[in-house]
Homo-oligomer: A and B are copies of this chain.
Amino acid sequence: MTFKQSAHPLLLIPGSIEVADNVLEANGSPSMSHTHQPFIGIFQSALQNLRKLFKSTDHKAQAFVISGSGTLGWDIVASNLIKPKEDALVLSTGFFSDRFADALTTYGVNTDVIRADLGDYVSYEEIEKALGRKKYKIITITHVDTSTAVLSNVEEISKIVKKVSPETLIVVDGVCSVAVEDIEFDKWGIDYVLTASQKAIGVPPGLSISFISGRALDVALNRDVDTTYFASLKRWDIIMKAYESGKGAYFATPSVQLINALKVSLENILCKPLDERFKLHIENSDWFKGELEKLGLKLVSKKHAGCHALTAAYFPEGVTGANLFPLTSKRNVVFAGGVHKDIATKYFRVGHMGVSVVDRDDTKVALEAIKESLLELSVKS
Interface residues of A (CB under 8 A from B): 4-5, 8-9, 11, 13, 15-19, 24-25, 27-36, 67-72, 74-75, 78, 102-103, 106-107, 196, 198, 204-206, 226-232, 250-258, 334, 336, 339
A346 smallest CB distance to B (angstroms):
18
Q: Which of A36, A71, A228 has the most chain B CB within a 10 Å cutoff?
A: A228
Question: In the complex, which of the residues B35, B228, B254, B334 contacts A33, with contact meaning CB atoms closer than 8 Å?
Answer: B334
Q: Are B27 and A28 in contact (CB under 8 A)?
A: yes
Q: Are A27 and B30 in contact (CB under 8 A)?
A: no
Q: Are B31 and A19 in contact (CB under 8 A)?
A: yes
Q: Which of A16, A34, A102, A107 has the most chain B CB within a 10 Å cutoff?
A: A16
Q: Are A16 and B28 in contact (CB under 8 A)?
A: no
> Assuming the A-B contacts A69-B230, A106-B228, are A196 and B253 also in contact, with contact meaning beta carbons closer than 8 angstroms in the complex?
yes
> Assuming the A-B contacts A30-B5, A253-B205, are A68 and B15 also in contact, with contact meaning beta carbons closer than 8 angstroms in the complex?
no
- Roughly how many angstroms separate A251 CA and B96 CA in the complex, as a whole number? 11
> Assuming the A-B contacts A30-B19, A34-B205, A198-B253, are A230 and B13 also in contact, with contact meaning beta carbons closer than 8 angstroms in the complex?
no
Question: In the complex, which of the residues B68, B106, B257 contacts A68, with contact meaning CB atoms closer than 8 Å?
Answer: B68
Q: Are A204 and B257 in contact (CB under 8 A)?
A: yes
Q: Are A16 and B256 in contact (CB under 8 A)?
A: yes
- Roughly how many angstroms separate A122 CA and B236 CA in the complex, as a whole number? 31
Q: Are B67 and A205 in contact (CB under 8 A)?
A: yes
> Assuming the A-B contacts A226-B106, A334-B36, are A8 and B28 also in contact, with contact meaning beta carbons closer than 8 angstroms in the complex?
no
- Roughly how many angstroms separate A8 CA and B35 CA in the complex, as a whole number? 16
Question: In the complex, which of the residues B103, B106, B254 contacts A205, with contact meaning CB atoms closer than 8 Å?
Answer: B254
A19 smallest CB distance to B (angstroms):
5
> Assuming the A-B contacts A16-B34, A24-B28, A205-B256, are A228 and B75 also in contact, with contact meaning beta carbons closer than 8 angstroms in the complex?
yes
Q: Are A31 and B11 in contact (CB under 8 A)?
A: yes
Residues on B with C-beta less than 8 A from A34 are: 16, 205
Question: In the complex, which of the residues B4, B74, B103, B205 contacts A30, with contact meaning CB atoms closer than 8 Å?
Answer: B4
Q: Are B30 and A28 in contact (CB under 8 A)?
A: no
Residues on B with C-beta less than 8 A from A15 are: 253
- Roughly how many angstroms separate A226 CA and B228 CA in the complex, as a whole number? 12
Residues on B with C-beta less than 8 A from A36 are: 334
Chain B residue, CB-CB nearest to A79: B228
- Roughly how many angstroms separate A192 CA and B107 CA in the complex, as a whole number? 24
Chain B residue, CB-CB nearest to A75: B230
- Roughly how many angstroms separate A237 CA and B126 CA in the complex, as a whole number? 38
Q: Are A255 and B204 in contact (CB under 8 A)?
A: yes
- Roughly how many angstroms separate A339 CA and B30 CA in the complex, as a whole number? 24
Question: In the complex, which of the residues B9, B27, B31 contacts A18, with contact meaning CB atoms closer than 8 Å?
Answer: B31
Chain B residue, CB-CB nearest to A76: B230
- Roughly how many angstroms separate A259 CA and B206 CA in the complex, as a whole number? 10
- Roughly how many angstroms separate A74 CA and B230 CA in the complex, as a whole number? 8
A126 smallest CB distance to B (angstroms):
26
Q: Which of A31, A206, A254 has the most chain B CB within a 10 Å cutoff?
A: A31
Chain B residue, CB-CB nearest to A32: B11
4 residue pairs, one from A and one from B, having the closest CB atoms: A28-B28, A206-B255, A69-B252, A71-B252
> Assuming the A-B contacts A11-B32, A31-B18, are A74 and B336 also in contact, with contact meaning beta carbons closer than 8 angstroms in the complex?
no
- Roughly how many angstroms separate A28 CA and B5 CA in the complex, as a whole number? 11
A134 smallest CB distance to B (angstroms):
23
